[in-house]
Structures are given as structure tokens and as C-alpha cells.
Amino acid sequence: MKLRVVFAGTPEFSVPCLEACRASGAEVVAVYTQPDRPAGRGRKLTPSPVKQAALDAGIPVEQPESLKSEEARATLAAYAPDLMVVVAYGLILPRKVLAIPRLGCWNVHASLLPRWRGAAPIQRAILAGDGESGVDLMQMEAGLDTGPVLLERRTPISPEDTGGTLHDRLAALGADVLADGLARVMAGETLLPRPQPDEGVTYAHKLDKAEARLDFTRPAIELERQVRAFDPWPVAEGDVNGETLRIWAARAVEGHGSPGSVLGMSREGIDIACGEGALRVTALQRAGGKRITAADYLNAMKARSE
């Protein structure tokens, strides 16, 4: 069975899923993505990664500010989609839009639902110290990530994972689970929806730059997760030796002292006392500088003092 698919997505995370749709044999008749936004130092209007991928593939692109108007719904209906695939699109789909495709709308979500519904499931999982994450292929409903799960892929979260590494792995898993779902449906199979349980619901609220600030009165292990979760954005920051630094890499170690005080500095890192234990900073960035190792930072300090 040939499927007419409309794809809706915006950031880099969505691109592997768009490619999976194209590779599946389904006909991607249109791509919906957020309007171009200002980006970079010049604040030039920049297309989303999904828009760029669609243009490169010669797929028609739609960029409505909202899907609430009759005009927006008529435009979507004119594509006569069998299925709409939504991956980190960033716009709410009203109930009337969900009803347009013959097979409804699928969503690829980067968590093991019902844990971490919402905007930032990857970072929230690391912040919470979760040992596992994954992606769910979900049949969309009007609620926020409340629909039944069709297929799932799981992956452990390692102590070395950052927001960036987990993002990339889940993007690949999302493409894999979507490709599996499309292949099954085109082979005539009906995917069995599994309703989400009422227990274990958590919400992954959107990241705020203010959350990047490190509070050294907290346990070191929590700050280590914060550093990992906020790499590559918004990047953790804290005061070290009276200087505000961006903290790119750090790990919890043994140590005792007044929270925020520097316990020791060596080529291995800068140890900062926390409410429990200490945080060893191993990669950092000074204002206006680039990311460097703690060893390079200490060498620069030594050179300045000479």
C-alpha cells in the first residue's frame, strides 16, 4: 500500500525521520515546518534544518504561523494525506487537523512515555539521573503527548552521555522506529496502540537559560548531570575563582569544603566544593574565549601571573 505522507518537523532532531519517510517508499507530498527565524550574529532569517532538507529533496514546504485557521486546514487537506508524521514540529495540532489524514497523525517522541511528556525530554532525563531513555512512536491525540504508543525503542543513558550525544542517538532511534512503523503499515499490518498508563506521568518543561547557572550548595552529582544535560545548549556556567565561566565538562568527586570554594587545581581539573562532594571541572570557556581544557586554563593563568 502506497502512503501519501505529510511530514511536520523543525530542528535537526527531525531530519533523520524525514529521511526515513523518504527512504520507506512512502510519498512525502509536503513538509510543514516553523517559519524562518533570525539566527547568527547578523540575525539573518534562517530556514529550519527540516526546511533545508525538504528543499534539497524538492518537496513542497508549508510554514504557517498556526494551524488553527480554516485556510491552514484547507491547505493541508488539499494534499490528501493518508498519514501525517510529526517530529518536534513546535506547533500544536488542533483536533480538526488530527482528523484530516486517513490514518491520523503519528508523533516520534524522545522519551519512554508517559515519562517526560513535553518540550525537553532529552535534557530532563539526564538531569533526573534516569538510567534509560528511548523513543516512542505514538498515535496523536488532542492532549500533550498523551496518545497511545504504537512502537518503542530503548537505550541506556551512560554516565558520559550529554544532551548532545543522547540527542543524536535518539534521533537515529526515532528514524529507526518510524521506518519500522511505515514498513508494517505499507505491508498491510495494523499497529496495535498501547494506552499510556496513568502512573508515572512527568513533564519535560522547556529549557530556560537561567537553569544553566550552577548552584554549588547542591550535591556535586546533580551539578554533574546539569553540566552534561546542558551540553551543547544552554551550557552550564558558574563562578570559579571570582570569574564566571561556562562549564562544558565536569564530574563529581570526593571533597569537602565551603560550597563554591576551589579545593584544588591540577591538570586533571579544578575541584570546587559543593553541598555534597566536589565538582571537578575538566573543560571550560572564559567570556569571549573558546572551549579549552582545565589544563590549558591553568597554563593561561600561570602565564598571566608571570
Domain ranges of the chain: 4-204, 209-305
Residues at the binding site for (6S)-5,6,7,8-tetrahydrofolate are 111-114
pLDDT grade, residue 106 (50/70/90)? very high
Which residues make Cβ contacts (< 8 Å) with residue 144, sequence separation at least 6? Answer: 117, 118
Residue 218 pLDDT > 70 = yes
> Roughly how many angstroms between the first and final C-alpha of the chain, as a whole number?
74
Closest CA to 109 of 78, 140, 83, 74: 140
Cell of 6: 505529510
Q: What's the average model confidence in pLDDT over 203-212?
A: 95
pLDDT at 43: 87
pLDDT at residue 301, as a whole number: 79
> Distance between CA 216 and CA 231 in Å, rounded?
18
Alpha helices, H only, 64-149: 70-78, 95-98, 121-127
What average pLDDT does the segment 48-66 reach? 97
Looking only at the bridges linking them, the beta strands covering 83-87 and 4-9 are: parallel
Task: Give the type of residue at 240.
Answer: V
Is the confidence at residue 150, as pLDDT, over 70? yes
CA distance 267 to 288: 23
Q: For domain 209-305, which architecture applies?
A: Roll (3.10)
Please state, in angstroms and rounded to a whole number, the distance separating the CA atoms of residues 119 and 110: 10
pLDDT at residue 302, as a whole number: 74
Write down the mean pLDDT value for the chain. Answer: 96
Q: Does the pLDDT at position 1 exceed 80? A: no
Q: Is the pLDDT of residue 39 over 90?
A: no
CATH 1.20.1050.10 applies to domain 4-204: no
Question: Band of the pLDDT at 236, cuts 50, 70, 90?
Answer: very high
Q: What are phi and psi of 62, to 5 degrees?
A: -115, 135
Residue among 286, 240, 232, 245 at smallest CA distance from 263: 240
Q: Is the pTM of this model over 0.85?
A: yes
Residue 182 has pLDDT above 70, yes or no: yes
Residue keyed to cell 488539499: 78
Backbone angles phi, psi at 23, to 5 degrees: -75, -15
pLDDT category at 42 given cuts 50, 70, 90 is confident
> For the chain, how long is the longest CA-to-CA vector?
75
Instruction: Summarize pLDDT for 67-76 with one digit per residue, the tens.
Output: 999 999 999 9
Annotated binding site: 111-114
| pLDDT band for position 306 (cuts 50, 70, 90) | low
**What gap in Å lies between CA 103 and CA 137, rounded to an integer?**
14
pLDDT, tens digit (0-9, with 9 covering 90-100), for 259-284 = 999 999 999 999 999 999 999 999 99
For 218, the 3-state DSSP assignment is coil
pLDDT higher than threshold 80 for residue 109: yes
